[in-house]
Amino acid sequence: MFPSMMQPLLERYLSYLRFELNLSPNSCSAYLDDARKLVRYLSDEGLSLEGLTYEQMQGFVAGLYDIGIQPRSVARIISGAKSFCRFLQLEGYMEADPSELLETPRIGRHLPDVLTTEEVDRMLEACLERGGAEMLRNRAILEVLFSCGLRVSELCGLKMGDLFLDEAYLRVYGKGRKHRLVPMSPSAIEEVRRYLLSPRPQPQRGQEEYVFLSRRGRAISRIMVFVLVRELAGLAGLGQRKISPHTLRHSFATVLLEGGAGLQAIQLMLGHEDISTTEIYTHIDRSSLREEIERYHPRNRKTHV
């Protein structure tokens, strides 16, 4: 365990994440956990924050590999440790940031799985097969994820005051509590209206404004949405693939790109700060173009004698 004397400093760091950087609760929790990892390492090695060096930070990273943490997770922990070190420098605990030159592991670009419109329709039909009191809610969730490209946390945090169904858009609070306006398709509006007009669970105190509720009347959780999407994918015959709520977001972006939408428009609708994050969808589109060329170009057709 890290020394109890470090707890007040970590609490101040949490306040910094919440109020200075305006990060979401999930991001705050992840960054705080990374800071705790660094503090535990320093305690185990008998090192101090004030005298922390670049070489010691390298030792911290090497220890992550030693216990079998995968490169993608190492990269995330390094990002959290860097944030903590910047905070310590701002607070005057360090004269220089020892993590400034720390390199993150190279991670190969992973092309996310995507669904076709027909496969999404099969998942919507699976809601009917699954049935239950939540059927209309589940259809509305799938349609909003696919038609609006929301992150699962954005969907769970959606409130009644964020819906502008007559104007055909919704307001989303994304990372850093930055909001954006996302157009809604007619099918998404229809599914949401049907859900809101249906009998819903009695909201618990403080949960009245949330759009998507659990059986217990609380805002639906991220885990519940993950489980729901996986179950519906299985009923739709897609269970052999790793389908998640984020798959629907990727599918939203890919369908837009294939339909001719520009990267900047997709960037705005997804809420990406950096266009390079959005550019991954050009790789997906190129791979589908390659398949089309190999299938239809006369030079790629096999001739039979």
Report pTM: 0.61
Given a contact cutoff of 8 angstroms between Cβ atoms, the answer to whether 163 and 212 are in contact is no
Three-state SS at 88: helix
144's enclosing H/E stretch is helix 135-148
Q: Going residue by residue through the chain (305 aa), what tens digit of pLDDT does each one get?
A: 445 678 899 999 999 999 888 888 888 999 999 999 999 999 888 888 888 999 999 999 988 988 888 888 898 899 999 999 999 999 888 888 999 888 887 765 555 688 999 999 999 999 998 888 899 999 999 999 999 889 899 999 999 999 999 999 999 887 666 788 888 999 999 999 999 999 989 999 999 999 999 999 999 999 999 999 999 999 999 978 889 998 998 888 888 877 777 667 777 777 766 555 555 555 555 555 455 445 554 545 554 44
Q: List residues with catalytic annotation.
A: 151, 175, 246, 249, 272, 281
Residue type at 218? R
Q: Which residue from 63, 222, 89 is spatially nearest to 157, judged by alpha carbons?
A: 222
- Domains belonging to the chain, first-starting first, are 4-90 (1.10.150), 117-293 (1.10.443.10)
CA distance 147 to 144: 5
* Positive or negative torsion for Cα 266, 270, 275, 279: negative
Q: Where are the beta strands (DSSP E) in 116-270?
A: 163-164, 169-173, 179-183
Q: What share of the chain is helix, strand, coil (3-state, %, to 5)?
A: 60, 5, 35
